[in-house]
Amino acid sequence: PNRDRFVLSAGHASMLLYGLLHLSGYDLSLDDIKQFRQWESKTPGHPEVHMTPGVETTTGPLGQGISNAVGMALALKMQAARFNTAEEPLITARVFGIASDGDLMEGVSAEASSLAGHLGLDNLVFFYDDNKITIDGKTDIAFTEDVGARYQAYGWFVQHIDGHDHAAIEAALAAAVAEPARPSLIVARTHIGKGSPNKQDSSKAHGSPLGKDEVAATKANIGWDHPPFFIPERVQALFAARAEDGKKERAAWDQRLAAVKAAGGEVADRWRSMMEGELPQNLLAELVAAAPAKTAATRKQAGAVEQRAAALVPGLVGGSADLAGSNNTTIADGGEVQRNAFSGRNLHFGVREHGMGSIANGMALAGGFIPFTATFLVFSD
């Protein structure tokens, strides 16, 4: 539960993720990778949660990944507010990701990013792969705004780097992790198809294979003379060492969790009910009994059932798109979630229906919470 998450919002770059998951020791073999984009393979064209080990959320519909990541970061903040003590900080994880030009054109990413800035989700760090190329050509045929300035206006910490400068990447990551109050966007200027003699900085490098001849020319250009699927020993050793470090970190965290459970009390009880998914055996009967007469308006019935569910299920949280009073969604005595105040249960999504749905999906994937959302049907399109 306390692992850092990585979300490849630019899901069309899925092979990059699959290669790293294989190197990191996930149950993803080279044979699986060779089945890329084949029916029912573990390596679909875009990452799919529950299909590929290590994939945190399904991405490909652009804008959804970064929006899901906002939900994950929010859920981690809310988990920390419920489970962390001075002696045993159980939840310290962050969410990292990569977004593309297309991701940041989408309206849903604007909605979610705006709310992330408002809430000060400093545990969220995203790279923007600013290569200025889409399938139809250069981005300036439809997308010319200053994205960095827009994210600064949202309340994000924005840095600009050369996306091919490894030292700059490392320094920007360190600064983002050290940022105490804002989510981070690292605008990385890159060249799509870098190293390809004939397709670099071209839409031809976006969604189509380079082709046998161009692959050979690119490998010669960058000095890579190894056969396909070759992994140098030093790379394998580097990832193996990091895996051992991860095992030690996990063992230390398991000890912290065991200490919390052994101590008992409210935090331990809440962990079992939320993170381990315990639900009351009589939940359905309780909810049926809570429903008012059938003559009551649907929203009134839903509100009454929600109140009873909230009393029985501490992980139930949620809100509406600026319609809490009309949708009857406010959890009584639940408190609200705001910047630096994440112990509440009532979320104010603002008039952001699309972002609300994506954020709730990310919260559910993060674990511990059963998020609900509400609006009027006519506003849901």
- Kindly list the catalytic residues: 353
How far apart (Å, rounded) are the C-alpha atoms in residues 188 and 290?
Answer: 53
How far apart (Å, rounded) are the C-alpha atoms in residues 63 and 167?
Answer: 28
How far apart (Å, rounded) are the C-alpha atoms in residues 165 and 174?
Answer: 14
- Give pLDDT tens digits for 237-270: 999 999 999 999 999 999 999 999 998 888 998 8
CA max distance for the chain? 75
Question: Which residues lie across from 189 on neighbouring strands?
Answer: 130, 162
Tell me the residue type at 134.
T
pTM for the model: 0.97
Q: Model confidence at 96, in pLDDT bands (50, 70, 90)?
A: very high
- Give pLDDT tens digits for 307-365: 999 999 999 999 999 999 999 999 999 999 999 999 999 999 999 999 999 999 999 99
Q: Report the top-level CATH class of 283-379.
A: alpha beta
CATH architecture of 5-234: 3-Layer(aba) Sandwich (3.40)
Tokens of 238: 């580097």
Of 162-171, 254-263, 277-286, the range with the highest mean pLDDT is 162-171
Percent with pLDDT over 70 in the chain: 100
The residue-averaged pLDDT of 173-190 equals: 99
Residue 220 — left, alpha, or beta (φ > 0 → left; ψ -120 to 50 → alpha)? alpha
Residue 220, H or E segment: helix 212-222
- Report the relative pairing of strands 133-134 and 137-138 from DSSP bridges: antiparallel
Residue intervals in the chain for CATH 3.40.50.970: 5-234, 283-379
Q: Do 92 and 2 form a contact (C-beta atoms < 8 A)?
A: yes
